[in-house]
Structure 1
Amino acid sequence: MRRRSLALAVAAGGLGAATNTARAQEPWPVRVVRLVVPQAPGSPIEIPTRIIGDRLSRSLGASFIIDNRPGAGGGIGSQHVAQQPADGSVFLATSAGIAIVPTLQPALNFDPIRDLDPVSLMCDVPSGLLVRNASPFASLAQLLAHARVRPGDLTYASGGVGSANHLAGALFAALAGVEMTHVPYRGVSQAVNAVYAGDVSLIFGSTLELLQHVRQGQARILGVTMPERVPALPEVPAIAEQVPGYAAPNWFCLMAPKGLPERLLNRLNAEMAVIRDAPDLQARMAEGAATARLDGPGPLAARLADEVPKWRKVVADAGIRPD
């Protein structure tokens, strides 16, 4: 009897292991997964999104594709995802701008904490105050001195009203006590090109996209938006060194329609935990002075809880209105 019980126990254990293996290898519930980017094509969010999407396509057996849905400072694409079924067929790949949408786009009746489930932060991305190489400003101190003598003369580009780079500029002007003119474009790529063409004075942009241009001698970064200097750019001062209290860190994240089944959320995060150490992702993040996260829903939920009220105050104080 003891031998028979032992044999049954071993068999049951083997069956359990086989069942777990089968579950681990179950196909993703849909064949095509849309990663909605609420910005125009060419935005820096697409850099980590494409790398992560390609890896997930291979490991989960579904095609993860980017679906650009710009408009309303990211509100159009974000609201679209919130209205989709929570079946693993669609996710939102967005930036820190998601924390601005509920304040600046009240007509959408959208709130990321209420209407979406956090999946994970993708990466932390410093932003920099960038000017073209032919700019007369060689330092942040020079730029600030000019702004104080000639109020409103400096212009700053953004990917649209309410975008993360718009709010970074508005916060800078408020804390520095200067006036700058905001010039919105239909996407970050157009805004950056306007800086290089000399149409506008500067932009607050993601280092993931901008550093390659700096290294090519097209532009220079006068300061970073993180509270302190970035280890990858030790020679570039933090803006807070000239403007005390300034901090506008950028970050990219993945969110899902409300009610994503826990088994899908857990499986997705297990796969992304492996991707976090992938050489191609690590190399691309390092190249852009960014830090890969892919650390699950908890840190993203905490980030949103902090950022939504912060940017609500910035929007109110600056009197920013939607287009």
Structure 2
Amino acid sequence: MRRMALACLAVAGLWQGVVPVARAAGADAASSCSALRIVVPFPAAGPADLLARTLAQGLHQRRGVTVVVDNKPGANGNIGIDAVRRAAGDGCTLLVAPAGNLTINPTLFPALAYNVERDFRPVSLLASSPNVLAVHPSVRAGSVQELVALAKRANPPLGYASPGVGSGLHLAGELFRQQTGIALLHVPYKGTTQALNDVVGGQVPILFGTLPTLAQFIRSGALRALAVTQAARSPAAPAIPSLAEQGVRGIEVSSWYALLLPRATPAPVADALHADVRAVFGGKTVREELARQGMEPVAGTPDALATRIRQESAGWAELIRTHGIKAE
């Protein structure tokens, strides 16, 4: 987490000393905002926070206004998201949220105060990063095939750690178990740090994690990466083979982060913000810095984001109901 915090400062530093330029085309649609607030529903130093601070610096540069990142953790991200739902639709309050909050939580927490489709206007995907299947070095498996063979012989079943019941990484493990037909024991933790510590310490043999979180441990040899949980290798980690190329198909689970506004925000305001996102995350320096953190900038259209949220929500809902997964 310290490394991610330093990365946040590094990305923010890319913008230091730059004299504000003319306002971006279309920015007048949001000219009523003397300041912008970007809400991140998790503590500082994580991937969502890094992206929010990158966007904040870029918006400040392009619009010449103060941009504040407001970390509002709690209730698995639901507190911060609900705060944006209740904000005025004037384009001054923005939300940067991970995929799980938009596509998994609505099924996992049926009593949520917000409805993603009803209460938010999609603006853009910001970035994605691959999830990684990793093992402790003591595990005698150098490939997915070897891990599957080992798991089939194991009694009791091998355990895999995740940051919590219903998290995207928990569900990635369930998909892996389902597609390979092996028995695995889910070991949930209250957050990524605890799960990671126990796998690095050898208490649990297997972990599904995000590349930005695991990268330094993979490089140091504290963890062995067996696969990215998708069909093709990731440009962010080209040396790590995919699940599909090792014979496990039908799993496409990446971590991605999106920008949304309260639903009442006028379309021209959202369109101007989308143009800003494309400019900020399309910059060569920002792209290179995020790539070093294991993330790939993806400034997609609002319609593409809406479609992705809708499709992934349906897929996760089916998996959650089939396996009877309940939030804890």
- With the shorter chain as reference, the TM-score category is 0.7 to 0.9
Rounded to whole Å, the distance in 1 between the matches of 2:33 and 2:91 is 7
Change in CA separation of 1:309 and 1:22 when aligned onto 2, cut-off 3 Å: closer
User: Residues 245-300 of structure 1, C-alpha deviation per residue, up to 9 Å, x if partnerless?
Assistant: 22212211111221112232122112111112223321123224432112331210
- Whether the aligned pair in 1 keeps the contact of 2:163 and 2:169 (CA below 8 Å) is yes
- Whether the aligned pair in 1 keeps the contact of 2:231 and 2:249 (CA below 8 Å) is no
Rounded to whole Å, the distance in 2 between the matches of 1:132 and 1:184 is 17
Change in CA separation of 1:271 and 1:178 when aligned onto 2, cut-off 3 Å: same
Query: Is the aligned partner of 1:261 residue 2:241?
Result: no
Query: Is the aligned partner of 1:314 residue 2:306?
Result: no
**1:198 corresponds to which residue?**
202
Task: Specify the SS of the correspondent of 1:108.
Answer: coil
Task: Specify the SS of the correspondent of 1:272.
Answer: helix
**1:249 corresponds to which residue?**
254
Paired letter, 2:153: V
Distance apart, 1:125 and its partner CA: 1.5
Distance apart, 1:101 and its partner CA: 1.2
Change in CA separation of 1:156 and 1:92 when aligned onto 2, cut-off 3 Å: farther
Q: Please, which of 291, 297, 305 is the counterpart of residue 300 of structure 1?
A: 305
With normalisation by structure 1, the TM-score equals 0.83
**2:239 corresponds to which residue?**
235
Unaligned runs of 5+ in 2: 1-22
**1:207 corresponds to which residue?**
211
**1:113 corresponds to which residue?**
117
Q: More displaced, 303-312 or 273-282?
A: 273-282
Rounded to whole Å, the distance in 2 between the matches of 1:36 and 1:233 is 29
- Whether the aligned pair in 2 keeps the contact of 1:115 and 1:257 (CA below 8 Å) is yes
Change in CA separation of 1:169 and 1:96 when aligned onto 2, cut-off 3 Å: same
**2:50 corresponds to which residue?**
47
With normalisation by structure 2, the TM-score equals 0.82
Task: Specify the SS of the correspondent of 1:259.
Answer: coil
Q: Please, which of 89, 93, 118 is the counterpart of residue 92 of structure 2?
A: 89
Rounded to whole Å, the distance in 2 between the matches of 1:144 and 1:23 is 53
Rounded to whole Å, the distance in 2 between the matches of 1:173 and 1:79 is 34
Paired letter, 2:121: D
Rounded to whole Å, the distance in 2 between the matches of 1:219 and 1:21 is 45
Distance apart, 1:113 and its partner CA: 1.5
User: Residues 199-241 of structure 1, C-alpha deviation per residue, up to 9 Å, x if partnerless?
Assistant: 3222222212322332233322111112122244343221233
**2:11 corresponds to which residue?**
none
Task: Specify the SS of the correspondent of 1:275.
Answer: helix
Rounded to whole Å, the distance in 2 between the matches of 1:131 and 1:83 is 42
Distance apart, 1:32 and its partner CA: 4.7
Query: Is the aligned partner of 1:290 residue 2:295?
Result: yes
Change in CA separation of 1:36 and 1:147 when aligned onto 2, cut-off 3 Å: farther
Rounded to whole Å, the distance in 2 between the matches of 1:42 and 1:224 is 23
Rounded to whole Å, the distance in 2 between the matches of 1:149 and 1:21 is 60
- Whether the aligned pair in 1 keeps the contact of 2:123 and 2:271 (CA below 8 Å) is no
Q: More displaced, 308-317 or 52-61?
A: 52-61
Change in CA separation of 1:169 and 1:51 when aligned onto 2, cut-off 3 Å: same
User: Residues 15-57 of structure 1, C-alpha deviation per residue, up to 9 Å, x if partnerless?
Assistant: xxxxx99974687544554433333444322232221222223
**1:14 corresponds to which residue?**
none
- Whether the aligned pair in 2 keeps the contact of 1:31 and 1:63 (CA below 8 Å) is no
Paired letter, 2:239: E
Q: More displaced, 118-127 or 131-140?
A: 131-140
- Whether the aligned pair in 1 keeps the contact of 2:43 and 2:71 (CA below 8 Å) is no
- Whether the aligned pair in 1 keeps the contact of 2:169 and 2:209 (CA below 8 Å) is yes
Rounded to whole Å, the distance in 2 between the matches of 1:193 and 1:49 is 26
Query: Is the aligned partner of 1:174 residue 2:178?
Result: yes
Rounded to whole Å, the distance in 1 between the matches of 2:208 and 2:229 is 8
Distance apart, 1:114 and its partner CA: 1.9
Unaligned runs of 5+ in 1: 1-19
Change in CA separation of 1:162 and 1:41 when aligned onto 2, cut-off 3 Å: farther
RMSD over equivalenced CA pairs, Å: 2.6
Rounded to whole Å, the distance in 2 between the matches of 1:151 and 1:28 is 64
